[in-house]
């Protein structure tokens, strides 16, 4: 059974939700009956009596802190209440996001965390994703709908040859709750969430694929000294100098996940200076490792996926190692 990540008990106090009408009315009826008067209930909830009346008539979204207090007063378990949550409040009052709690660990959610650490941007107000490759933008939209709600319609912008999609505040807060880093990532230290590190292979694969889709690269390097060719996949990310130690630990977590999937990688090293700090990363070489990456993880980014296939297909040594292997038939896109 999938791990439960977000329930009613995990939502912040000021988070606002919509509750099924009949259940909401019954909850307030029980609370009023227990307390005695609407005025006293308003005091318990620390709000105006008019707010109580509006909430009963479903003219407003309920704050989580109010639901917790109502749970306490009526002796109604939170897990029972969460089954009757039907929508989340967005900044646009005309729009609502239908949702069901709890939210469980899934490959789609792991992929969103990977993108939030890559080309995504997470703030207190929204989650956005910016990319040149349309297939990655579509993947993020699809995964938000699967992981959270089919009711989500992001705002899209076309910027030159790139696309940007923005998701409402409620989605941003949910992604943050399951481990997405909030703020400018170059000035943040963050870790791979435990639920991903301890998840099944599909969750690990989805996370790593998303991160490499955004931040990974493929290179074929000719080494003159040995007259040989080195083929590799690499990943490097920049971090302000204050966070280099924590950043190395984060990269080690990614290396450990790759090892769990049967792929070994190089030691982490500095790969250059950037405007805001230091770029650090590691590489994956050895034809066996590259083949394992292709067939186990792959890229959803079409250009990178084709480049990796071509890199292996153009290697004489690869065909000597795997004489009966043909990568021509390998699927061009890996689905989560």
Q: Quick check: helix, strand or coil at residue 162? A: strand
Same domain, 163 and 75: no
Number of domains in the chain: 2
pLDDT of res. 327: 60
Same domain, 98 and 150: no
pLDDT of res. 92: 61
Same domain, 89 and 77: yes
Same domain, 10 and 76: yes
Looking at 135, 153, 183, the residue that finishes a domain is 183
Residue 116 lies in a domain: yes
Same domain, 119 and 177: yes
Same domain, 130 and 172: yes
pLDDT in tens, 226-246: 667 889 999 999 999 999 999
**DSSP string spanning 194-208?**
HHHHTS-HHHHHHHH
pLDDT value at 311 more than 60: yes
Residue 193 lies in a domain: no
The pTM for the full model equals 0.91
pLDDT of res. 1: 67
Average pLDDT over residues 66-89: 93
Work out whether strand 127-131 and strand 62-63 pair parallel, antiparallel, or are unpaired: unpaired
Same domain, 94 and 179: no
Same domain, 39 and 91: yes
What's the CA gap between 315 and 331, in Å, rounded? 19
pLDDT in tens, 29-57: 999 999 988 899 999 998 888 888 887 77
Q: Which residue has the higher pLDDT, 138 or 2?
A: 138
User: Which range marks the domain in which residue 39 is found?
Assistant: 4-103
pLDDT value at 23 more than 60: yes
Looking at 160, 183, 206, the residue that finishes a domain is 183
Confidence of residue 14 (pLDDT cuts 50, 70, 90): confident
Residues 6+ apart with CB under 8 A from 132: 161, 162, 163
Residue 255 lies in a domain: no
Same domain, 44 and 125: no
pLDDT in tens, 265-308: 999 999 988 888 899 999 999 999 999 999 999 999 999 999 99
Cβ–Cβ under 8 Å, residues 334 and 209: yes
Confidence of residue 323 (pLDDT cuts 50, 70, 90): confident
Looking at 80, 103, 126, the residue that finishes a domain is 103
Flag the least confident range among 31-40, 146-155, 259-268, 314-323: 314-323
What's the CA gap between 102 and 142, in Å, rounded? 19
Average pLDDT over residues 152-171: 91
pLDDT value at 85 more than 80: yes
Average pLDDT over residues 61-80: 93
Average pLDDT over residues 199-223: 94
Same domain, 35 and 95: yes
pLDDT of res. 335: 44
Confidence of residue 333 (pLDDT cuts 50, 70, 90): very low
> What is the domain-level CATH number for residue 139?
3.10.28.10
Residue 267 lies in a domain: no
């Amino acid at each position: 059974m999938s791990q439960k990540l977000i329930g009613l008990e995990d939502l912040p106090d000021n988070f606002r939700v919509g509750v099924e009408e009949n259940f909401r009315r019954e909850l307030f009826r029980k609370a009023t009956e227990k307390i005695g008067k609407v005025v006293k209930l308003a005091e318990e909830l620390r709000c105006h009596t008019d707010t109580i009346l509006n909430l009963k008539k479903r003219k407003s979204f309920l704050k989580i802190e109010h639901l917790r207090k109502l749970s306490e007063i009526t002796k109604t378990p939170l897990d029972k209440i969460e089954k009757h949550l039907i929508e989340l409040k967005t900044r646009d009052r005309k729009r609502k996001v239908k949702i069901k709690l709890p939210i469980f660990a899934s490959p789609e959610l792991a992929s969103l965390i990977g993108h939030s650490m890559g080309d995504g941007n997470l703030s207190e107000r929204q989650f956005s994703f910016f990319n040149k490759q349309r297939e990655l933008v579509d993947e993020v939209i699809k995964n938000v709908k699967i992981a959270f709600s089919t009711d989500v319609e992001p705002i899209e912008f076309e910027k030159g040859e790139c696309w940007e999609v923005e998701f409402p505040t409620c989605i941003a807060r949910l992604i943050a709750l399951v481990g997405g880093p909030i703020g400018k990532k170059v000035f943040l230290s963050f870790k791979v969430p435990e639920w991903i590190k301890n998840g099944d292979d599909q969750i690990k694969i989805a996370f790593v694929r998303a991160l490499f889709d955004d931040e990974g690269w493929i290179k074929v390097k000719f080494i003159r000294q040995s007259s040989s060719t080195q083929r590799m996949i690499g990943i490097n990310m920049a971090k302000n100098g204050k966070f280099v130690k924590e950043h190395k630990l984060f990269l080690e977590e990614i290396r450990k996940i790759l090892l769990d999937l049967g792929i070994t990688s190089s030691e982490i090293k500095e790969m250059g200076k950037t405007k805001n700090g230091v770029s650090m990363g590691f590489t994956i070489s050895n034809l066996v490792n590259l083949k394992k990456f292709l067939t186990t993880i792959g890229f959803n980014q079409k250009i990178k996926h084709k480049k990796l296939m071509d890199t292996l297909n153009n290697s004489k040594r690869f065909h000597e190692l795997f004489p009966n292997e043909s990568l021509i038939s390998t699927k061009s896109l890996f689905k989560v």
